[in-house]
Amino acid sequence: MIKKVAIQGIQGSFHDIVSKNYFLNAVETLPFLTFNEVVCSLAQHKADAAIMALENSIAGSIIPNYALIDTNELHITGEYYLDVQHNLMALSGQNIMDIKEVHSHPMALLQCKVFFDQYPHIKLVEDSDTAEVAKRVHDQQLLGIAAIASEAAAEIYQLKILAKSIQTIKQNETRFVIVERHQNSSVTLNKASLKFMLDHKRGSLAAMLNVMSDCKLNLTKIQSLPKIDTPWKYAFFVDVTFDAYEDYQKAKSIMTIMAEEFKVLGEYKNAKQ
């Protein structure tokens, strides 16, 4: 069955690559410029699933995406880790000294900053999407302007790669999550994404972390996010892995009692196993 999958970006973007790898090409991708549009398409039943980047090994968490998943009552049903290699590309017949501007997503520019320090003549311009810039360079035959994008984008939009793997840290991995309207129970469940809020009592967070440890959960991620309508109040988003689902269920029942607010954002298969 072909799934309609909403992605941020167009064909050749990293989200597009993940959608095809995860669903083994059995997808019709619905491209959007923003994550907000991606989530809206899923919430309005225009898409069956969505792909969203949540964190990068260099730049850290993409915090607004946690809030989008939470506030729209969506569920994380899977994850995928992609080795993101950034490549500098432009129309053929040019070399890097011919390039005056490089347009790309702010995250890509940040991850490649050191490379461009050696080319002070190049102006870095923030744009909406890596692959969309590559397409624009091709469609408008823009000379002197380069894109940072995937090898797939260079092939699709017939651009010449001027420099490969230009990110500062060569091991550059991004964690993407698959998001749906309902929880998927047909897969092995050994990882969960949770959200909870605690009171201001001393040691309340430590006590919650102790529960996870005592119940044999492995904490792989913790991220705090301010509660907008309550100053100095924070929600904690955590990812945990576990060997036995019964251990996780026990921890969940205790954490529900201890927290002022407790929510399961998703239960799914650990992609790092």
- Please report the pLDDT score of residue 191 as a whole number: 97
For all residues of the chain together, what is the average pLDDT?
Answer: 93
Model confidence pLDDT, tens digit, residues 40-76: 999 999 999 999 999 988 777 888 899 899 999 999 9
Helices 204-214 and 245-258: crossing angle in degrees, nearest 10, is 160
Model confidence pLDDT, tens digit, residues 200-256: 788 899 999 999 999 999 999 999 888 777 777 789 999 999 999 999 999 999 999
Place of tokens 């923030």: 126
At 186, the pLDDT band (50, 70, 90 cuts) reads: low
pLDDT at 25 over 90: no
User: What are the sequence ranges of the domains in the chain?
Assistant: 3-84+173-180, 87-163, 191-268
Cα separation, 201 vs 208, in Å, equals 12
**Phi, psi dihedral angles at 183 (to 5 degrees):** -65, 140
**Lookup: tokens for 36:** 């907000």
- Please report the pLDDT score of residue 131 as a whole number: 95
Residue 248, CA distances (Å) to 62, 100, 190, 217 in order? 26, 54, 9, 7
pLDDT at 86 over 80: yes
**3-84+173-180 has which CATH code?**
3.40.190.10
Which fold, 87-163?
A: D-Maltodextrin-Binding Protein; domain 2 (3.40.190)
Residues 6 or more apart whose CB falls under 8 angstroms from that of 236 comprise 195, 196, 197, 198, 205, 208, 222, 223, 224, 225
Q: Which of 55-59, 93-97, 269-273 has the highest mean pLDDT?
A: 93-97
Model confidence pLDDT, tens digit, residues 101-152: 999 989 899 899 999 999 999 999 999 889 999 999 999 999 999 999 999 9
3-84+173-180 and 191-268, same CATH topology: no
pTM for this entry? 0.91
**Lookup: tokens for 116:** 């461009």
Which fold, 191-268?
A: Alpha-Beta Plaits (3.30.70)
